[in-house]
Amino acid sequence: DVEIMGGDLEIKLSRYNRVYQQGDKVEGEVTLTTKGGGISHGGVVLKAEGAVSMQLSANSVGLFEAFSSNIKPASLMNVSLDLLKPGKLGDGVSTLPFSIPLQPTSTNRPLLDTYHGIYICIQYTLSVDVLKSGIFGQPMHESTEFIVEVPGKKAPPPTPQTVTLNHKDAAAKKSRGKLLEGQQFCITAHIDTTTLSITQPLTGHVVVETTSHAIKSISTQLVRVETISATADNPTVREASEVQSIQCASGSVCNNIEIPIHMVLPRLFCAPGATFQTFQLEFEINLVIEFEGGFTAVQNWPLKVFR
């Protein structure tokens, strides 16, 4: 809540977890506490807004002119309610209930899951303003975020993946560093499905069959791929960044033993993949096997996330 001279303003949502789905009513109350003789005001207005905001990375700053119109926030919903008409409030607590149906403003722009990324952010906020009255009045403002989850229509079938990594094809993959002289290895990796519900963990296993050099660590890495397009069908700036990395093993491991892979997708920092006019949101999984001596083998899978 926010405190200024003459009052205290707070937004309270009826749901403690602040999570809503399309068609729900976002309900709660605005509490306005006045003191010191009360306040005169020009009305109390509540707004519910949802928007997709985009920004370019420092590497793409030279493209700013081409993106000047595309990086403006895209509105998903915009609702305004007058909670109180202009007047004066005496000392005490005023409770102003509200109820807003969660629906998109336009049928051409559906609601999307809340997502906090690096270059793309999908956010929904409630804000309340106590408008000032006269030239000496002082406005009051408060805002809070609520979370939107958009259920999918039908869950797609699972897509299990099994792959063998070895020294022979290491150069063709996203490996890092150079193989040491005489270095050989054969490692099998299995992912139970790369078509994954956002509420379920990513699971699988890794088996080190043979290796001539010691393994330093084995980890799984969740990567976000955010694309901002100059036009709706012409991807121009594509940025990949790590969301999280989980170590599966540390140091040399026994051969021919299944090492489990288990990763819970982080709330808000991961969302169902989406394509929305001038942006695209995708996710990938990397299996990263780091050897002593500097060579790192990497296996990459596209990850289709749904709700």
Q: Give the phi and the psi of residue 180 in degrees, each rounded to 5.
A: -75, 160
CB atoms within 10 A of CB 9: 20
Give buried/exposed letters for 270-292 (b at 16+ CB in 10 A, else e): bbbebebebbbbbbbbbbbbbbe
In this structure, which amino acid lies at residue 304?
Answer: K
Average confidence (pLDDT) over 252-268: 94
pLDDT tens by residue, 53-95: 988 766 655 554 555 545 778 899 999 999 988 888 778 888 9
In the chain, the amino acid numbered 120 is I
The residue to which tokens 């002119």 are assigned: 65
> Whole-angstrom Cα distance, residue 111 to residue 24?
12
Residue 25 neighbours by CB distance under 10 Å: 12
pLDDT beyond 50 at 4 = no
Which position has the token pair 């890794």?
Answer: 206
* Distance between CA atoms of residues 123 and 116, nearest Å: 8
pLDDT for 103-151, tens place per residue? 998 888 899 999 999 989 999 999 999 887 765 567 788 999 999 999 9
Confidence bin at 9 (pLDDT 50/70/90): confident
Whole-number Å distance between alpha carbons of 189 and 161: 8
- The pTM for the full model equals 0.84
Task: Say what the pLDDT of residue 134 is.
Answer: 63
- Give the H or E element holding residue 249: strand 234-250
